[in-house]
Chain A
C-alpha cells in the first residue's frame, strides 16, 4: 500500500514538476537527487539572496540555511506546489528576516565599495579601459542603490520577475499574496526604478 501511495505521489509530483519528483526521492533517502537539486538551484538562490541582501558572505550563509532547511524538511515534504515556489519562499522568508534583523548592515555600508562583489569576468573579458570600468562601476552602483532603496517586498518581487523570470502567479505564491497584488507591487517598483534609472538609457 505504501508503494502505491508513493507511486501515486510520484506521479502527482511528476505532473507538477520534475523537481518535486526529485525532492520526493530525497524524501526516500536518495542523496544524489538532493545533489541534482543543489546543482540546479544553487546559483539562482545565492544570486537572489545576494541581490536582496547585497552582501555576498551573508547571501551564501543564508543560501546554506535555505538548502539545509530543504534537506531537513525532506521527511515532511509534500508536492503541493512547484518546488521552486517552496524553495524561493524559504529564501525570501530568510532574506526578509535578515533585512529586518539588520544582519546586512555591513553590506549597506559597503555599497560604496563594491569591488569585492563585482564579477571579475565582466571587466576582464572585454579588456576595458579604466574609464569604461569606472563608468560601468558607477552605473552598477546606481542600479544597486536603486534596488536597495525599494521596499523589501517590491524588491523581492522585482528580483524574482527580472532575474528568476518567474510568472506573476508564482511570485504571488512565494510572497503569499494575490496575483493582482504582485502586479501592483511590480508596477510601483518598476515606476520607482524608472524614475531613478531612466536616464541610463
Chain B
C-alpha cells in the first residue's frame, strides 16, 4: 500500500479512519500500513484527538417556545399574504397564462412595429429634401443674382462718381 498521506484521496482515507467512518474492508490494509508508517500514525493519533475534542462540544438545548414563535411568524406572513391575494387566487391562477400570452403578444407587436419606424423617418427626410430643394435653389440663385447686381453697381459707382468730384 502506498503511503496515503501523499495524496488527497489517501488523506481523506486517513481522516475517515480517524473519525471512525472508514469502511470495514479498507480498515485492515490501512492498519497494516500504520504499523510501518510513523507519519500516518502521528496524523491518525492527532486527528483522533481532534475528533474526541470536538465530541466535547454539545450544542445548547433548543428553546421551548421555538416552534410557537416560528408558527406565529408563519401565521403572520400567511395571513398577510392571504389577505392580499387570497380572494383573487382562483382568478390569478386562471388569468396568469392569459396575462402571459397577452404580454407576449404586446411584446411581439412592439418588436414588429419597431423596424417600420426607421424607414418612415428616412422617408420624411427624403420628402423634406425633395420639397425644399427647389426653393432653396431658387433662393440661392436669387441671392447670387442680387450679389452680382450689387457687385456690378459697386464696380460702376467709382467710375461714375470720380469725374463728378
Is the CB of B77 closer than 8 A to any CB of chain A?
yes
| A63 lies within 8 A of chain B by Cβ | yes
Q: How far is the CA of A68 from the CA of B73 in the complex (A)?
A: 8
A residues near B (Cβ < 8 Å) are 38, 42-43, 46-47, 50-51, 56, 60, 63-64, 67-68, 71-72, 116-119, 122, 136, 139-140, 142-144, 147, 161-163, 165, 168, 180, 183-184, 186-187, 190, 193-194, 197-201
**Minimum distance in angstroms from B151 CB to a CB of chain A:** 83
A194 to B11 Cα, complex, angstroms: 14
Distance in Å: Cβ of B155 to nearest Cβ of chain A: 89
- A97 to B152 Cα, complex, angstroms: 89
Cα A147 to Cα B59 in complex, Å, equals 13
Distance A195 CA – B124 CA, assembled complex (angstroms)? 81
- Please name 21 pairs of A and B residues whose Cβ atoms are closer than 8 Å in the assembled complex, sorted by A: A38-B70, A50-B60, A60-B62, A60-B63, A60-B66, A68-B70, A68-B73, A118-B60, A139-B53, A139-B56, A140-B56, A147-B54, A162-B19, A162-B51, A165-B21, A183-B9, A197-B50, A198-B45, A198-B46, A199-B49, A201-B48
Q: Say whether, besides A38-B67, A60-B63, A198-B49, A119 and B58 are in contact (CB < 8 Å).
A: yes
For this complex, into which size category does the number of interface residues on chain B fall?
A: 20 to 34
Q: Which residue of B15, B60, B69 contacts A190 across the interface (Cβ within 8 Å)?
A: B15
What is the CB-to-nearest-CB distance from B20 to chain A, in angstroms, rounded to a whole number? 11
Question: In this complex, what residue of B is CB-closest to A140?
Answer: B56
| In-complex Cβ contact of B60 among A119, A180, A183, A194 (8 A) | A119
B39 interfacial by beta-carbon distance below 8 Å = no
Closest to A64 in B: B70
Q: Would you give the shortest CB distance from A200 to chain B, in whole angstroms?
A: 5
A168 touching B59, Cβ below 8 Å: no
B interface, CB within 8 angstroms of A: 8-9, 11-12, 15, 19, 21, 43, 45-54, 56-63, 66-67, 69-70, 73-74, 77
Whether A68 lies near B8 (C-beta < 8 A) is no
Contact A183 B73 (CB under 8 A): no
Q: Is the CB of B77 within 8 A of A42?
A: no
Q: By the criterion CB–CB under 8 Å, are B77 and A68 in contact?
A: yes
In the complex, the 9 A-B pairs of residues with the closest C-beta atoms, listed nearest first: A201-B49, A47-B59, A194-B46, A198-B46, A197-B53, A200-B53, A193-B50, A119-B58, A198-B49
Contacts of A144 in B (CB 8 A): 57
Selected contact of B45 from candidates A38, A43, A51, A201, CB within 8 Å: A201
- In Å, the complex CA distance between A14 and B11 comes to 35
List residues of chain B with CB within 8 A of the CB of A183.
8-9, 11-12
Q: Which residue of B lies closest to A39 (CB)?
A: B67
**Which one of B21, B48, B57 contacts A51 once the chains associate, using CB atoms below 8 Å?**
B57
Contact assessment for B74 and A140 in the assembled complex, using a CB-CB cutoff below 8 Å? no
Residues of B with C-beta under 8 A to A47: 59
**What residues of B have a CB within 8 angstroms of the CB of A68 in the complex?**
70, 73-74, 77
